[in-house]
Structure 1
Amino acid sequence: MTDHNANARRALVDSLNHLLADSFALYIKTKNFHWHVKGPQFRDLHLLFDEQAAEIFALTDLIAERVRKNGGATLTSIGAIAARSSIADQDAADLDAEAMVRELVADNRAFIARLREVKEAAGNAGDNATDGIVDDWTDQAEQRVWFLSSVIG
């Protein structure tokens, strides 16, 4: 492997680990909102947040496996996740439902931007498998944004 290929592979692993951290952070935030949502839209949002959290959690293993298949080590702790995530924590348990939805829209949009970074890194590393699967992950994230945005109009 040339230095360029090795550097591109390292950059891809780094990008995937950032995506993995964002996945865990987005999962936890979505679950937090699932547990704490209240108001007239409770049932619909409670179910929507739970569905989206399950979808996001399912991605974590797929992302980690791409890291390993590219010769890298995955994140190993909550601290490693916190150090790499760009999704801000939300510790409030009393946000109104609209604030929750708006925050998840913004976070899922940031997640889409991170996916585009991974796709570019995969292309640079010549990793066609990661390049292709990121399109599916992007479609899922775009659907989450669409569903959430539709709730608030």
Structure 2
Amino acid sequence: MSMNVAESRDTERASLNTPSDLSPEATATLAERINRLVADAYVLYLKTKNFHWHVSGPNFRDFHEMLDDQSSEILESIDPLAERARKLGQPTLRSLGQILELTALTENEKDFVSPYEMLVELMNDNIAIAKSMREAHGVCDDWDDVATASLLEQYIDATEKRTWFLFEAARAADSGGH
């Protein structure tokens, strides 16, 4: 039996639709929320790495190492989230343009950012991500998606820990009366 090109493409496309007991509406809604979280994580990862590379000042070593640890933690969250969308039979992100389209965060391309400003900006971004994860968790609850909710619970805790560390580090950096 031979397939023509159109049939082959349809078969390939159908193979992306992983079977699930969740409805197509549920998986589409959940994947949309997950993909926004993945986009936010990419932007936060790059911003954290940017600040890691460019931090300076008396607390350089501590801030540099903390931001490196945090960027690694953020990066490690991306693949499980993206794979969760695929497990639901839905596509995930395919490009930097799509990431920038979906993210709620803003990039920082300034030539110089003080350590205090870096830490506060990252703290606020982590707070925003935690809020978005909680909202996504609510969507998971609506569709009885305990697997995604479970992932989010771990990531919310990690995000809150990063927020706490950034808050305390910002207090240390705030020796100039910001």
TM-score (norm 1): 0.95
Deviations 1:11-57 (A, max 9, x none): 11100000000000000000000000000111000000000000000
Q: After the TM superposition, which parts of structure 1 deviate over 3 Å for at least 4 consecutive aligned residues?
A: none
CA contact (8 A) 1:115 1:138 kept: yes
Letter in 2 for 1:103: E
Partner of 1:145: 163
Structure 1, unaligned stretches of length 5 or more? none
Structure 2, unaligned stretches of length 5 or more? 1-18, 172-178
Give the CA deviation at 1:102.
0.4
Partner of 1:53: 71
Give the CA deviation at 1:99.
0.2
- 1:110-129 matched pairs, under 5 angstroms: 110-129=128-147
The question of 1:7 aligning with 2:25 is answered: yes
Segment of structure 1 superposing worse, 122-131 or 74-83: 122-131
Letter in 2 for 1:134: L
Deviations 1:125-153 (A, max 9, x none): 22111111211100000000000101123
Equivalent pairs: percent with the same residue? 37
Q: How many positions carry a matched residue from both structures?
A: 151
Partner of 2:12: none
TM-score (norm 2): 0.82
CA contact (8 A) 1:36 1:93 kept: no
Counterpart secondary structure, 1:71 = coil
CA contact (8 A) 1:8 1:121 kept: no
- 1:65-76 matched pairs, under 5 angstroms: 65-76=83-94
Return the alpha-carbon distance in structure 1 between the equivalents of residues 90 and 26 of structure 2: 12
